[in-house]
Chains A and B, each alone.
Chain A
Amino acid sequence: MTFQSGAKRDFQVVGKRLVRPDGIDKVTGKALYGADFSAPGMLFGRVLRSPHPHARIVSIDVSAAESLEGVKAIVTGWDLAEPEDEAIRDIRDNCLARDKVLYDGHAVAAVAATSKSIAKEAIRLIKVEYEILPHVTDVDVAFRPDAPAVQEGRSDETVPEESSPNITRRFEFGHGNLEDCFAKADKIVERSFKTAATHQGYIEPHACLASLGSDGRGELWCCTQGQYLVRTVCSEILGLEASQLRVTASEIGGGFGGKTTVFIEPVALALSGKAGRPVKLVMSREEVFRASGPTCSSSIDVKIGMTKDGRITAGEAVLRYSGGAFPCETVQFGSQAAFAAYDLDAVKTHGFNVMTNRPKEVAYRAPGAPMAVYAVESVVDELCQEFDLDPLEVRLKNAARKGTLSAYGPTFNEIGLMATLEAAKAHPHYSAPLGPNQGRGLSCGFWFNFGGNTCVSLNINSDGTVGVVEGNPDIGGSRASISMMAAEELGVPYEKVRTVIADTNTLGYNDTTDGSRVTFAVGLATIEAARDAIKEMCGRVAKLWGIDEEAVIWENGCAKPASSNAGDFEPMSLADIAAIADNTGGPIAGHYEVNADGAGVSFGVHLCDVEVDRETGSTQILRYTVFQDAGKAVHPDYVEGQMQGGAVQGIGWALNEEYIYGEDGKLQNAGFLDYRVPVASDLPQIDTVILEIPNPGHPYGVRGVGETSIVPPLAAISNAVCRATGVRMTELPLSPARLQKALQEA
């Protein structure tokens, strides 16, 4: 795919800070979220969840619940179909267990009743007999060959024999001769790190309204990052034809990767099919914590060698991630991202996915990368301290750049790491003075980004306005940026364009809103759809003027003669052409369908100042600056919002957020009172510096920006704490109790 990537463009709309189209609806409560939908005759669903971390289901007796007045349907895992795809069977078994429950909170059965209170009472009346099995929630314990098996027979061909039954897959990446290159180092540091599982922490719990008839036709309204994915998964789990299940995405109150799967939607559909009435199912916050997917917990060993002048000679890491009770791929991304910021002669990463009795992992912003980069950047920082070297100069000396053989295989082309590092070096933050008990930390971060399957329809309305129909829920401001790109290309005011999100039966398939793909891929498709419409409009004007189509050009929102040789005609605006569309061939629209590639990787650098209270162990973030390459910032407010949001989530991950399990295998902090996310009063202004190194794979140079920003904070903060206290912390979060203990022991 090639675009006018080399051409400098004087943007008229793109790059401006325009009014967001969803703002008023959201602040006035008009916007409809997942739990806002209702239907006549609607029932209320509720799910019975396992109190055990690991147990065999001996029997489920629903007779007492069924006889309760007002109960209209009860389903268990055996009411669901048998998908061919193994990954979808895992999703099914996560939605409703069959033979075994695999974690505290695993769904066992569900009820639909005429009121919430009746559904609650019916759940209480369901009798489940369990045979308790040994459990394991710690990744390192689960990694041992003698660990309790969470599931049997899930290891694939990459896993060595005699390994733990919980290891499902192994990955290895890298190049070069480690032994030779480590031998060139003046110092080698080896450290082991652990990070806790953290939740995406979206404010809106999972919610849906399902209606499934006996004819196999269904309607589903839900909060999701991908209505097409929901359709695919639910169709297979329910044994429906995809065309017969229409899925409509609501507004979304945060996703961050956590809404790229289903937890309750197949259950609500099954209940509705059985009851013959619509069923609404909404997770409580406790259910969200216990039974929707957090990110992986991790245990990582890192070894890095460096010369005394700051050249990294070699790096190696072993990464053990647990994505809960099912096979999970996330460790591969950590293994690839760990050393991506560095130009290394020898590098090797070994990744293992390990099952534990925890909820099934779901993606969380740059899945797998933050913890891997935390471990690597911590060791790099320690080596900088060892040789008394400036950590930013060391990054510049070793930074990946165009022509670098990346740690995960390909050679980089145009990337922005050097530019972000130079920007950080030149920024006043880097040289600002620090006080007692204060420290400054630095970290690089990396994420791949991708494009994916995308359809866009762009309709020229008869009044000269424009409607864009796209298929990706707007979780980060995409309706604004898509409208801006349509306006830019068509040459019409932004206010004349409205972008809406289609349901699954209105537009062709679109991949989920993830991978930082929407502004890149949907933007690309929108631009091409606009060009398609422009071609149609120019063709009609050519007929009106009686000249060749090639003799008409589009400029500043008007069709014009290409030159004086083409004739002397008054330019016709988009509105002029739209007004006579009926007479010139009918409705005017542009379309584009693509599986977009060329997303372009993204790098960021974070600077962080902290102050540590040595008495309490609490850490205050004093100053924080994010430097990130956006390719081209379509709507800078939203780009800054992504950079700030990722940084804040990373601050939470570094300082306080963690899934805490007791010896009994039960989650102990399933609520926002005990699972502490950062709030506004915890934070300074997160400053941002957007760099624009154009991505040659996009007509405007756009790169994804949604994920990279969560990668550096873990290491940036831990490095800052180390420089403030002299203590190198190797386990996250750096909660006050953990840090205070380390300070006392130092």
Chain B
Amino acid sequence: MVRVKLWGSLSDFADGKEVVEVEASNFKQLLDRLGETYPGLKPQFERGVSLAVDGTIYREAWFTPISDENEVVLIPYMTGG
């Protein structure tokens, strides 16, 4: 199981949990399965989220591998100027 940290206002839609566990081996599976378990997360997922794996931020890469040995954090979708 991968432990996924959620940012504060996202945890409101995961029964208040700041960390959720999910069976997933990549970013796409993580999004799909979290969306199934916590449907309230889906609107934010549709607007866009980024994934930080061991401190490196991935914006869209569905096939980014993750495992229970990684620090996995969901953060809002990154843009810039």
**Residues A450 and B59 in contact in the complex (CB < 8 Å), given A156-B43, A332-B76, A413-B54:** yes
Cβ–Cβ contact B59 & A597, under 8 A: yes
**Chain A residue with minimal CB distance to B40?**
A157
Cβ–Cβ contact A514 & B80, under 8 A: yes
B45 within 8 A of A: no
Cβ–Cβ contact A413 & B60, under 8 A: no
A20-28, A403-411, A627-635 - interface stretch: A403-411
Interface string of A406-448 (1 = CB under 8 A from B): 0011111100000000000000000000000000000000011
CA of A614 to CA of B69, assembled, Å = 59
Cβ–Cβ contact A448 & B78, under 8 A: yes
Cβ–Cβ contact A171 & B9, under 8 A: yes
A707 within 8 A of B: yes
**Chain B residue with minimal CB distance to A365?**
B81
Cβ–Cβ contact B78 & A450, under 8 A: yes
B1 within 8 A of A: no
**Chain A residue with minimal CB distance to B81?**
A257
A158 within 8 A of B: yes
CA of A425 to CA of B50, assembled, Å = 35
Cβ–Cβ contact B8 & A515, under 8 A: no
In this complex, the member of B54, B57, B75 whose beta carbon has the largest number of chain A beta carbons within 10 angstroms is B57
* B residues in contact with A697, CB < 8 Å: 56
**Residues A158 and B12 in contact in the complex (CB < 8 Å), given A412-B55, A452-B59:** yes
Cβ–Cβ contact A367 & B75, under 8 A: no
Cβ–Cβ contact B7 & A171, under 8 A: yes
* A residues in contact with B43, CB < 8 Å: 156-157
Cβ–Cβ contact B78 & A515, under 8 A: yes
Interface string of B67-81 (1 = CB under 8 A from A): 000010111101111
CA of A352 to CA of B57, assembled, Å = 24
* A residues in contact with B75, CB < 8 Å: 336, 408-410
Cβ–Cβ contact B12 & A599, under 8 A: no
In this complex, the member of B9, B54, B60 whose beta carbon has the largest number of chain A beta carbons within 10 angstroms is B9
A517 within 8 A of B: yes
Cβ–Cβ contact B8 & A514, under 8 A: no
Cβ–Cβ contact A595 & B61, under 8 A: yes
Interface string of A146-164 (1 = CB under 8 A from B): 0000000000111000000
Cβ–Cβ contact A364 & B81, under 8 A: yes
CA of A157 to CA of B43, assembled, Å = 8
In this complex, the member of A363, A410, A516, A517 whose beta carbon has the largest number of chain B beta carbons within 10 angstroms is A410
CB distance from B52 to the nearest CB of A (A): 4
CA of A517 to CA of B57, assembled, Å = 13
Cβ–Cβ contact A348 & B8, under 8 A: yes
Cβ–Cβ contact B79 & A157, under 8 A: no
A174 within 8 A of B: yes
Interface string of B26-64 (1 = CB under 8 A from A): 000000000000001001100000001011111111001
Cross-chain contact of B80 among A171, A174, A367, A411 (Cβ < 8 A): A367
A170 within 8 A of B: yes
Cross-chain contact of A171 among B57, B59, B76 (Cβ < 8 A): B76
CB distance from B34 to the nearest CB of A (A): 15
Cβ–Cβ contact B9 & A170, under 8 A: yes
Cβ–Cβ contact B76 & A172, under 8 A: no
Cβ–Cβ contact B57 & A260, under 8 A: no
* A residues in contact with B79, CB < 8 Å: 329, 333, 363, 367, 450, 514-515
CA of A173 to CA of B61, assembled, Å = 23
CA of A408 to CA of B9, assembled, Å = 12
Q: Among residues 1 to 28 in chain B, which have CB atoms less than 8 Å away from a CB atom of chain A?
A: 5, 7-9, 12-13, 18
**Chain A residue with minimal CB distance to B7?**
A173
**Chain A residue with minimal CB distance to B59?**
A450
Q: List 23 A-B contacts (CB under 8 A).
A: A157-B13, A171-B7, A171-B9, A172-B9, A174-B8, A175-B18, A260-B81, A332-B76, A363-B80, A366-B80, A367-B79, A408-B75, A409-B52, A409-B75, A413-B55, A448-B57, A514-B81, A515-B78, A515-B80, A516-B80, A597-B61, A707-B80, A707-B81
Interface residues of B (CB under 8 A from A): 5, 7-9, 12-13, 18, 40, 43-44, 52, 54-61, 64, 71, 73-76, 78-81
